[in-house]
């Protein structure tokens, strides 16, 4: 029968479609990161040091735990506070990164020092 066989998708099509989906998400993430950079002024929200282009962006609720890439869930950290402090298990950050206090200062992130047994 002519015309009844299903055509196979071109090799790599599924990978390209998956990558295209990630690119769309990545573009949305970039817009959030630009907004976070503007909000935080490329300064670490823990130690307040200026990190410039070395700034790291940390998800308060990890993406693997269902956290979204939103300005309320992402904050700027210097490499030391991010890698050694947060991911090294010495510090834990939580809260709302967009929350502002009475005079407009950012105040929604709480940082606690964890007992590491050192």
Q: Which regions of 20-72 does DSSP assign to beta strands (E)?
A: 56-59
Concatenating the DSSP letter of every residue in 79-110 gives HIIIIIIITTTSEEEEE-TT-B-TTS-B--EE
Q: Cα 63 to chain center, whole Å?
A: 8
The reported pLDDT for the residue numbered 105 is 85
pLDDT, block means (10 residues), the chain with 118 residues? 54 59 74 96 96 96 95 97 96 94 88 80
pLDDT of 25 reads 62
Q: What's the rounded Cα separation, in Å, for the pair 65 and 115?
A: 23
Predicted structure pTM score: 0.74
Structure tokens at 26: 């990545």
pLDDT value for 85: 96
- Give the model's pLDDT for residue 115: 81
Please give the Cα distance from 77 to 81 (Å, whole number): 6
Strand 109-113 relative to strand 56-59: parallel, antiparallel, unpaired?
Answer: unpaired
pLDDT, residue 50, reads 97
Comparing C-alpha atoms, which of 71, 69, 113 is closest to residue 89?
A: 113
């Amino acid at each position: 029968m002519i015309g009844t066989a299903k055509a196979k998708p071109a090799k790599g099509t599924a990978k390209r479609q998956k990558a295209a989906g990630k690119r769309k998400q990545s573009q949305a993430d970039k817009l959030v990161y630009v907004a976070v950079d503007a909000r935080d002024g490329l300064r670490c929200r823990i130690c307040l040091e200026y990190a410039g282009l070395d700034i790291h962006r940390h998800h308060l609720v990890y993406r693997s735990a269902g956290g979204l890439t939103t300005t309320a869930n992402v904050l700027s950290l210097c490499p030391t506070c991010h890698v050694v402090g947060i991911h090294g298990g010495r510090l834990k950050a939580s809260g709302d990164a967009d929350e502002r206090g009475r005079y407009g200062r950012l105040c929604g992130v709480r940082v606690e020092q964890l007992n590491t047994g050192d």
